[in-house]
């Protein structure tokens, strides 16, 4: 079944307009490192458990303006070949999330999220290279069996409305990680787009308690700083920041203040450094690339220690910049202001899930980190946190 492609069990193609390729869309990153560094990096990546804390390992339309129409099919196409080439043991897969406009143009509808979750798992059940992860042992088993595990999550709890019991339903259907709010506020707390952060609400505190009780990981990547800190204080389990960076290096709301980063580490949690286009830039490397991302990594390591940092690149197969443009217009959030950074067509070195961790491992070896610390960053820190969260 090695040649299986997404939804090929169906007699007719789900999407005929063409999907983005899984390799070669942009030129390969020129790392300039000797073969010994590359070999050491590959051995560390594939020899142990390596986990992406946040990615979207699916193929989007070749023309990103077709994405709303594509999403209305209810079926995103898992990049099975791309995952096999990634070197990863497991990926936190956050599905369509805020782009899940299956039944209309409003994101975060309960029915749309459930459709997405069910369709993806129906497809995965037809092949044998990728497995769904529901407990820590599943990750170890995936590494043993040379497979890739997908850990399904949501970037916000918005679809539950004001019903905490819906968290149980999501858990039962396979969700193992969920954010508090996605940029815009919801009934649980404030998102990072808001001018005023009201913090975690009473409902939010109940939701945090329920996620702790179930063993569902909590993410604060898109929450406001006060809401994120409140969440860390309310949680009895480690809290994750699956894909973000340090605002001290690049002053935009998408990145986090030092006190929020410390709050995550204080719970025993992990910070995943993101690479979504035009987010984790830095004053040292304002043109967004893998070097900008490594600036955020090193800053966070210095701030909270190596045991609390990993990577959540937030990549996909297709034109990520084009995706941002498409949905900014669709959802009416295109402010029309010039960006505070040099624009890039893609993040060099971190363009898709197939290449990210190969290149990040090279950077970690190049920058002189010990093998022990690299193993922690590539997956060990996440496994330790999940051991305390999933029970």
* Assigned domain for 7 exists: no
Structure tokens at 139: 């990750």
* Assigned domain for 4 exists: no
Q: What is the rounded CA–CA span in Å between residue 232 and residue 23?
A: 38
* Assigned domain for 74 exists: yes
Q: What is the rounded CA–CA span in Å between residue 271 and residue 295?
A: 14
Instruction: State residue 336's pLDDT score.
Output: 40
Residue 242 sits in a domain whose CATH number is: 3.20.20.140
Mean pLDDT of 1-25: 90
| Neighbour count for residue 386 (Cβ, 10 Å) | 25
For residue 334, is pLDDT > 50? no
104 CB-contact burial (10 Å; exposed 0-12 / middle 13-18 / buried 19+): exposed
Mean pLDDT of 3-28: 94
For residue 337, is pLDDT > 70? no
> DSSP assignment of 96-159, as one string?
SGGG--SSSS-S--HHHHHHHHHHHHHHHTT-SSEEE--SHHHHHHHHHTT-EEEEEEES-SGG
Task: Give the alpha-carbon dihedral of 340, 53, 149, 14, to 10 degrees.
Answer: -30
Range with top average pLDDT, 12-16, 328-332, 337-341:
12-16
Structure tokens at 282: 């830095």
What is the domain count for the chain?
1
Closest CA to 250 of 339, 325, 319, 335: 339
* Assigned domain for 116 exists: yes
* Assigned domain for 17 exists: no
Structure tokens at 105: 């143009």
For residue 277, is pLDDT > 80? yes
Closest CA to 269 of 226, 227, 223, 217: 217
Q: What is the rounded CA–CA span in Å between residue 272 and residue 276?
A: 12
* Assigned domain for 28 exists: no
Strands 58-59 vs 77-78: parallel, antiparallel or unpaired: antiparallel
Mean pLDDT of 69-88: 96
pLDDT by residue (tens digit) across 151-191? Answer: 999 999 999 999 999 999 999 999 999 999 998 899 999 99
Q: What is the rounded CA–CA span in Å between residue 44 and residue 372?
A: 9
Closest CA to 53 of 391, 390, 387, 385: 385
Mean pLDDT of 53-80: 96
* Assigned domain for 21 exists: no
* Assigned domain for 85 exists: yes
Instruction: State residue 2's pLDDT score.
Output: 53
Structure tokens at 82: 């791309």
3-state DSSP call for residue 161?
Answer: coil
Q: Are 308 and 263 in contact (CB under 8 A)?
A: no
> DSSP assignment of 202-254, as one string?
HHHHHHHHHHHHHT-EEE-TTB-HHHHHHHHHH-SS--EEEEE-BTTTS--TT
Which residue bears the tokens 């790392």? 31
Q: Are 226 and 197 in contact (CB under 8 A)?
A: yes
Structure tokens at 260: 């929020």
Domain that holds residue 123: 48-389
Closest CA to 321 of 299, 351, 349: 351
Q: What is the rounded CA–CA span in Å between residue 273 and residue 242?
A: 7
Give me the phi and psi of 270, to 5 degrees please: -135, 140
Q: What is the rounded CA–CA span in Å between residue 181 and residue 192?
A: 8
Mean pLDDT of 268-281: 97
Q: What is the rounded CA–CA span in Å between residue 131 and residue 150?
A: 6
Mean pLDDT over each residue of the chain, to the nearest integer: 95
Residue 272 DSSP code: E
For residue 99, is pLDDT > 90? no
| Neighbour count for residue 349 (Cβ, 10 Å) | 23
pLDDT by residue (tens digit) across 183-240? Answer: 889 999 999 989 899 999 999 999 999 999 999 999 999 999 999 999 999 999 999 9
Which residue bears the tokens 């406009």? 101
3-state DSSP call for residue 326?
Answer: helix
Q: What is the rounded CA–CA span in Å between residue 280 and residue 282?
A: 6
């Amino acid at each position: 079944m090695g040649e299986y492609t997404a939804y090929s069990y169906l007699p007719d193609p789900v999407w005929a307009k063409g999907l983005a390729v899984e390799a070669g869309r942009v030129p390969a990153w020129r790392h300039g490192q000797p073969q010994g560094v590359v070999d050491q990096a590959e051995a560390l990546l594939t020899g142990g458990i390596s986990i992406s804390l946040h990615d979207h390992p699916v193929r989007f339309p070749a023309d990103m303006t077709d994405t709303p129409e594509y999403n209305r099919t209810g079926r995103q196409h898992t990049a099975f070949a791309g995952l096999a080439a990634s070197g990863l043991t497991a990926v936190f897969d956050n599905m369509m999330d805020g782009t899940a406009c299956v039944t209309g143009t409003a994101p975060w509808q309960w029915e749309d999220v459930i459709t997405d979750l069910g369709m993806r798992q129906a497809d995965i059940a037809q092949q044998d290279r990728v497995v769904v992860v529901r407990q820590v042992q599943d990750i170890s088993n995936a590494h043993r069996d040379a497979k890739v595990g997908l850990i399904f999550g949501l970037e916000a709890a918005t679809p539950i409305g004001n019903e905490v019991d819906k968290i149980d339903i999501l858990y039962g259907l396979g969700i193992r990680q969920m954010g508090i709010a996605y940029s815009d506020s919801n009934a649980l707390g404030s998102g990072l787009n808001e001018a005023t952060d009201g913090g975690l609400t009473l409902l939010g505190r109940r939701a945090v308690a329920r996620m702790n009780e179930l063993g569902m990981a909590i993410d604060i990547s898109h929450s406001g700083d006060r809401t994120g800190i409140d969440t860390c204080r309310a949680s009895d389990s480690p809290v994750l920041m699956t894909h973000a960076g340090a605002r001290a290096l690049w002053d935009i709301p998408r990145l986090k203040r030092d006190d929020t980063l410390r709050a995550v580490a204080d719970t025993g949690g992990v910070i995943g450094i993101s690479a979504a286009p035009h987010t984790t830039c830095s004053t040292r490397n304002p043109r967004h690339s893998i070097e900008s991302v490594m600036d955020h990594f090193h800053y966070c390591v210095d701030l909270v220690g190596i045991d609390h940092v990993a990577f959540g690149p937030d990549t996909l197969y297709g034109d990520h910049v084009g995706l941002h443009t498409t949905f900014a217009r669709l959802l009416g959030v295109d402010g029309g202001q010039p960006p505070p950074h040099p624009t890039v067509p893609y993040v060099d070195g971190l363009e898709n899930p197939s290449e990210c961790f190969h290149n990040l491992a090279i950077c970690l070896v190049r920058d002189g980190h010990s093998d022990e610390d690299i193993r922690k960053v590539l997956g060990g820190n996440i496994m330790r946190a999940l051991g305390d969260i999933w029970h």
